[in-house]
Amino acid sequence: MDRVPSAMIHFLEENGGNEIYIMRDDLLPFSFGGNKVRKAILFFEQIDAGGYTVVVTYGSSSSNHCRVIANMAAARGIKTHVVSTDGGSSCINRQLVEGFGAQIHICPVEQVAATIDRMMDQLRQQGERPFFIPGGGHGNTGTAAYDLAYDRICDYAQQNHIGFDYIFFASGTGTTHAGLISGMLRRGEQAQKIVGISIARKNPYGGQVVAKSVLDYTGREAAEALLFVDDYICGGYGQYDASVERVIRRLYRQSGVPLDPIYTGKAYAGMEQYLDKHEITGKRILFIHTGGTPIFCDWVKL
Ligand SMILES: *Cc1c(COP(=O)(O)O)cnc(C)c1O
């Protein structure tokens, strides 16, 4: 796989007088794809270069990040340890993580940091070289993945002689969001609006995390480039309403594109409501499909 996979983009639908294009990162050719694949490629570059022997990360039972990391580690014969606050095993993602031989360590949320520290110490004492990957691939490495992906979006736009007025996507840890803004700042293209639809975090915290990630990575202020929208979180992580289910059904039936109720379906429904609320019409919009196909399969209610 390329270090920075190209952006597979196609026209999806007319929606409220806007042209919606979709970037199919869900079809990246590894472990059901998703934004965690772009991030994982860069993490494993460091793991391979540094001779690390075991991976420690963090995530819930529905975490796409944990699935991709456990798979990429298993491909190298490296073991993964997942620290998690939830022991549920009904999610396909958790079942796959366990299938790769990863060990799950359940602890209460307030003990996550201490549990990770203790595990890193224990593994070192056992003679291992453990590599820690933050939950969701948050941090400069994850940001870099979407800074670089931004170039691929520009490649597509140039080759097809089109420009996108807006980019929408599901924002969780804000890393994908920070990467895209960093790419835009680096290229000095300000015409575009990059809108993260939060799937859990509220402002001001959610937006502050994105701003800090941009600052850590680029040394620059995101300022007015930062649009972190928290109007469509439906009460928090993993919660969704009827509009989310409707949009998943509609798009799967109409276009064969699977969205999920935790991330992409929530973001697509949020995008529709945002466009409507701000009376945005006649624009060309890119929606980034950030993955999560196993969660679509957990949900399937067509
Ligand atoms: C993790 C994830 C996100 C959120 O990405 P962040 O970079 O953490 O904001 C969005 N969609 C899917 C499908 C994800 O797995």
For the residues 264-268, what does the mean pLDDT come to? 98
pLDDT score, position 27:
98
Which of 27, 91, 140, 176 has most ligand 1 atoms within 8 Å of CB, for mutation?
A: 176
pLDDT score, position 300:
86
What number of other Cβ atoms are within 10 A of residue 61's Cβ? 23
Contact 175, 146 (CB under 8 A): yes
Instruction: Kindly give the number of the ligand 1 atom that is closest to the alpha carbon of 34.
Output: 13
| Helix residue spans in 29-63 (DSSP H) | 35-50
**Rounded to an integer, what distance in angstroms lies between the CA atom of residue 56 and that of residue 120?**
8
Q: Which protein residue's CA is at the shortest distance from atom 5 of ligand 1?
A: 172
The model scores a pTM over 0.95: yes
- Higher-confidence residue of 301 and 212: namely 212
Which sign does the torsion angle of CA 154, 160, 161, 164 carry?
negative
Using 50, 70 and 90 to split pLDDT, how confident is the model at 224? confident
For the chain, the C-alpha Rg in angstroms (whole number) is 19
Tokens 């929530």 correspond to what residue?
A: 266
Instruction: Read off the pLDDT of residues 27-59 as tens digits, 9 standing for 90 and up.
Output: 999 999 999 999 999 999 999 999 999 999 999
What is the average pLDDT value for the chain, to the nearest integer?
96
Instruction: Read off the pLDDT of residues 228-256 as tens digits, 9 standing for 90 and up.
Output: 999 999 999 999 999 999 999 999 999 99
For the residues 184-200, what does the mean pLDDT come to? 91
Q: Is the CB of 270 under 6 A from ligand 1?
A: no
pLDDT score, position 88:
78
Q: Is the CB of 170 under 6 A from ligand 1?
A: yes
Measured in Å, residue 232 CA sits from the centre of ligand 1 at 15
Using 50, 70 and 90 to split pLDDT, how confident is the model at 223? confident
Is the pLDDT confidence value at 301 over 80? no
Measured in Å, residue 254 CA sits from the centre of ligand 1 at 24
Is the pLDDT confidence value at 89 over 90? no
What number of other Cβ atoms are within 10 A of residue 64's Cβ? 31
**Rounded to an integer, what distance in angstroms lies between the CA atom of residue 177 and that of residue 172?**
9
Measured in Å, residue 170 CA sits from the centre of ligand 1 at 6
